[in-house]
């Protein structure tokens, strides 16, 4: 019995998660159809993130 190919690969998921982290997205969803949806973070969360960054005096990279 042959297996059908995956609709979403592990590499696709990893790529979507990295993209979501770079733009501070709220969540990554994968539908049954294989669509990868990146939802934005709620406005309150984005404002809190900006406030946290503004309160730091020094950012070490």
pLDDT digits (tens, 9 = 90+) for 2-42: 788 888 899 999 998 888 888 878 788 888 888 888 887 77
Which band of pLDDT confidence, cut at 50, 70 and 90, is reported for residue 61? Answer: very low
CA angle 34, 38, 39 (to 5 degrees): 130
Query: Cα(17)–Cα(25) distance, rounded to whole angstroms?
Result: 9
């Amino acid at each position: 019995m042959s297996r059908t190919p995956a609709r979403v690969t592990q590499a696709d998921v990893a790529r979507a998660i990295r993209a979501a982290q770079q733009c501070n997205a709220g969540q990554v969803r994968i539908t049954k159809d294989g669509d990868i949806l990146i939802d934005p973070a709620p406005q309150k969360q984005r404002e809190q993130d900006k406030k946290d960054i503004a309160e730091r005096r020094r950012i070490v990279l």
